[in-house]
Amino acid sequence: MSKPKGGKKQISNILFIIFIALLLIPQTRRPIQVALNSIKVAIFSPSIIDDSEVEKLLTYNWELQNENGLKINFEDYKGEVVLINFWATWCPPCIAEMPSLDELYKDYNGKVKFLFVTNEDIATVQKFKKKKDFQFKMHSSLSSIPAQFETSSIPRTFILSKTGKIVVDETGAADWNSDRTRELLNRLLSE
């Protein structure tokens, strides 16, 4: 008895159709997107900007507020190593990279200044953080964001040196808890 022609191809087509259908259903779309972005996070570390292309931050004129209501003047972060992450709780790539950012935060908070910036309301973010057991503090902008940080897509993450040089400008999910990022932060802290 011979095998039916195209058996493997038919199975592949059926699986593809099921996958597309799952992406169309809102309840299954987000977990699939997070899972796919988690694969990317596991593979990619953020890129460090080549010294010849590094820009210096033009202004520290930026007011923020953390989730506890504390107002922050970004001017106070001059001379510090700073990691700024623009994100949202509804963003699959943000969700995928957040565990690595939170691990980095746990180890470097106090040495590096972290700003996790979102325009979502505090209750939504706190519920998300509690569910995921994240430790980082959420921030919201009270004034215009410096032009060099303006973004139309998230997640977007910047790392600044003590001298205000933008040494990392990464759009999309990445593994922030990588050896490469830790080596960069350690180098920037020692400068």
| pTM over cut 0.85 | no
The pair of structure tokens assigned to 191 is 């400068």
Average pLDDT over residues 98-118: 97
For residue 100, with 0-12 CB atoms within 10 Å meaning exposed, 13-18 middle and 19 or more buried, which class applies?
buried
Confidence bin at 52 (pLDDT 50/70/90): confident
For residue 27, with 0-12 CB atoms within 10 Å meaning exposed, 13-18 middle and 19 or more buried, which class applies?
exposed
Ordered by start, the domain boundaries in the chain are 43-190
- Whether 23 shows a pLDDT value over 60: the answer reads no
> Tens digits of per-residue pLDDT, 109-165?
999 999 999 999 999 999 999 999 999 999 999 999 999 999 889 999 999 999 999
Architecture of the domain defined by 43-190: 3-Layer(aba) Sandwich (3.40)
